[in-house]
C-alpha cells in the first residue's frame, strides 16, 4: 500500500547561508491512509518542525537542505503558495498546540468556522452556518447555537480546542497534523479531547500524524510510532511492538521515564545523561558526515 504521507531523508536547518544549525537530520517517515501515527520525542527533537514542514508553515529562516515530502504521491517539499493553499484544509489540516492563541480574537467562533467552509467547499452563507452548527455538535459542544456567536475569549481552553478540532475536520482532510493538541489542557479535559479526536478519526477515516512527548498517549491512540531524538529517527514500528519490546536504548529509557497505569508502583528513572550525550555525539557525527559529503 502506498503511503499517504511519505517523508524521505528530510534534512532541515535554521540560519543564514553561511552558518546553518541542523534541526532535522535525514528523517524518514510514512503515514498510511487512515492510520494514526505517533511522532514522539523530547523538547527540541524536531517533531513540531516535521509537522510545520508538511504544512509549509516553517519559519522563513528554516531551510530544507535535503530530502522530500510527498503527499498522496505528489512532492510537496517546495510547493508554491497558491498550490499549497488549495491543498490546505481539504488535503492536510492542523490541530494546533495552543488553543488559547490559535483562534483569531477579533471574530466569533462561528465566523471562523464558516470562513473555512465557504473558502473550500463553496457553500453559501446559510448552508455553511448549518454545517458549522453540525460540526460543533460533532465535537460535543452542547449549545452550538450559543457558542457560534461567542468570541474565543469567552470560551474555556477545552472548548476552544474542540472548535479547532471542528475546523480541522471541517473540510474532510485526508491527513491531520495534531501538534501536541492536549499539552495546553487540563488533565481531565485531555482525555475527553483525545477520545474525541479518535472517534472523529474513525468515523472519517482520516490519517493523523500525532505529535507528542507522551508515550502514554501514543499507546492509547496510535497504531504506529516514530521515535525522534535530535532530529534523527531512532526507532519506528507498530505501537505494540515498540512499547512492549523497545529495541533502541533511548526508547527503553523513555519507557522507564513514563508512568504506566498497568504497572503501578514502578520507579521512574529519567533518561541517563550519558545516553543523551552519546546520542548528541552521533548527531554531531552525522552533521560532520553531511558536511564532508557536501564538500566532496
Partner 1 sequence: MAEAAAARESGWRRALANRRVVAGAAVLLLMLAAAVLAPLLAPFDPLDQDLVNSFLPPAWAASGDPQHLFGTDNLGRDILARLIYGSRTALIVAIAAALGAGVLGTALGLLAGFYGRWVDSAVSRMVDVWMAFPAVLLSIVLVAVIGAGLHAVIIAIVVIDWTRFCRVVRAETLVQRRQDYVASAQTIGLSRWRTLIREILPNVVPLLIVLFTLEMGIAIIVEAILSFVGLSVSSDAPTWGGMIQAGRQYVNQAPWLMILPMLCVIAAVLALNALGDGLRKALDPLMRR
55 binding partner 1? (CB under 8 A): yes
Shortest reach from residue 23's CB to partner 1, in Å: 17
Shortest reach from residue 75's CB to partner 1, in Å: 19
154 binding partner 1? (CB under 8 A): yes
141 binding partner 1? (CB under 8 A): no
Considering only CA atoms, which of 179, 208, 110, 116 is closest in space to residue 151? 110
| Rounded-to-integer distance, Cα 293 and Cα 174, Å | 37
Tell me the β-bridge partners of 7: 29, 69
| Rounded-to-integer distance, Cα 194 and Cα 182, Å | 7
Among 33, 34, 151, 241, binds partner 1 (CB under 8 A): 151
Closest to partner 1 by CB, 142 or 263:
142
For partner 1, what does the binding mask look like between residues 64 and 103, x meaning CB under 8 A?
Answer: -----------------x--xxxxxxx-xxx-xxx--xxx
Identify whether the C-beta of residue 264 lies closer than 8 Å to the C-beta of residue 221: no
Q: 3-state DSSP call for residue 31?
A: strand
What strands lie across the sheet with 92-95, from one edge to the other?
92-95, 175-179, 207-212, 36-40, 224-229, 232-238
Closest to partner 1 by CB, 4 or 92:
92
Closest to partner 1 by CB, 209 or 279:
209
Choose the stretch contacting partner 1; rule: CB under 8 A; options: 13-21, 62-70, 72-80, 142-150.
142-150
Closest to partner 1 by CB, 13 or 91:
91
36 binding partner 1? (CB under 8 A): no
Shortest reach from residue 19's CB to partner 1, in Å: 19
Tell me the β-bridge partners of 225: 38, 237
Shortest reach from residue 141's CB to partner 1, in Å: 14
Q: How is the chain split among helix, strand and coil, in percent rounded to 5?
A: 45, 25, 35
Residues whose CB is less than 8 angstroms from the CB of residue 69 and which lie 6 or more positions away in sequence, other chains included: 5, 6, 7, 10, 53, 54, 75, 76, 77
Q: Which residues contribute to the site for partner 1 (CB under 8 A)?
A: 55-57, 60, 81, 84-90, 92-94, 96-98, 101-107, 115-116, 119-120, 145-146, 149-151, 153-154, 164, 167
Amino acid at each position: 500500500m502506498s503511503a499517504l504521507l511519505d517523508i524521505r531523508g528530510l534534512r532541515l536547518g535554521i540560519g543564514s547561508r553561511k552558518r546553518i544549525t541542523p534541526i532535522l537530520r535525514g528523517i524518514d517517515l510514512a503515514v498510511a491512509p487512515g492510520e494514526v501515527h505517533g511522532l514522539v520525542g523530547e523538547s527540541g527533537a524536531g517533531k513540531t518542525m516535521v509537522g510545520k514542514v508538511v504544512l509549509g508553515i516553517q519559519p522563513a529562516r528554516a531551510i530544507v537542505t535535503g530530502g522530500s515530502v510527498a503527499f498522496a504521491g505528489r512532492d510537496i517539499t517546495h510547493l508554491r503558495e497558491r498550490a499549497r493553499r488549495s491543498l490546505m484544509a481539504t488535503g492536510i489540516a492542523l490541530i494546533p498546540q495552543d488553543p488559547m492563541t490559535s483562534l483569531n480574537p477579533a471574530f466569533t467562533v462561528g465566523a471562523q468556522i464558516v470562513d473555512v467552509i465557504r473558502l473550500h467547499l463553496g457553500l453559501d452563507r446559510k448552508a455553511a452556518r448549518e454545517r458549522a452548527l453540525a460540526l460543533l455538535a460533532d465535537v460535543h459542544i452542547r449549545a452550538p447555537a450559543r457558542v457560534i456567536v461567542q468570541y474565543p475569549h469567552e470560551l474555556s481552553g477545552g472548548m476552544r480546542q474542540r472548535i479547532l478540532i471542528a475546523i480541522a475536520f471541517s473540510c474532510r482532510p485526508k491527513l491531520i497534523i495534531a501538534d501536541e493538541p492536549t499539552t495546553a489542557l487540563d488533565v481531565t479535559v485531555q482525555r475527553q479531547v483525545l477520545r474525541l479526536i479518535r472517534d472523529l478519526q474513525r468515523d472519517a477515516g482520516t490519517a493523523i500524524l500525532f505529535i507528542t512527548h507522551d508515550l502514554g498517549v501514543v499507546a492509547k491512540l496510535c497504531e504506529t510510532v516514530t521515535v525522534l531524538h535530535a532530529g534523527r529517527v531512532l526507532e519506528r514500528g507498530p505501537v505494540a511492538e515498540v512499547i512492549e519490546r523497545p529495541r533502541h536504548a533511548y526508547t527503553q529509557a523513555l519507557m522507564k521515564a513514563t508512568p504506566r497505569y498497568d504497572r503501578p508502583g514502578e520507579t521512574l528513572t529519567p533518561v541517563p545523561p550519558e545516553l543523551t550525550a552519546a546520542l548528541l555525539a552521533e548527531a554531531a557525527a552525522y552533521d560532520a558526515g553531511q558536511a564532508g559529503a557536501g564538500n566532496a
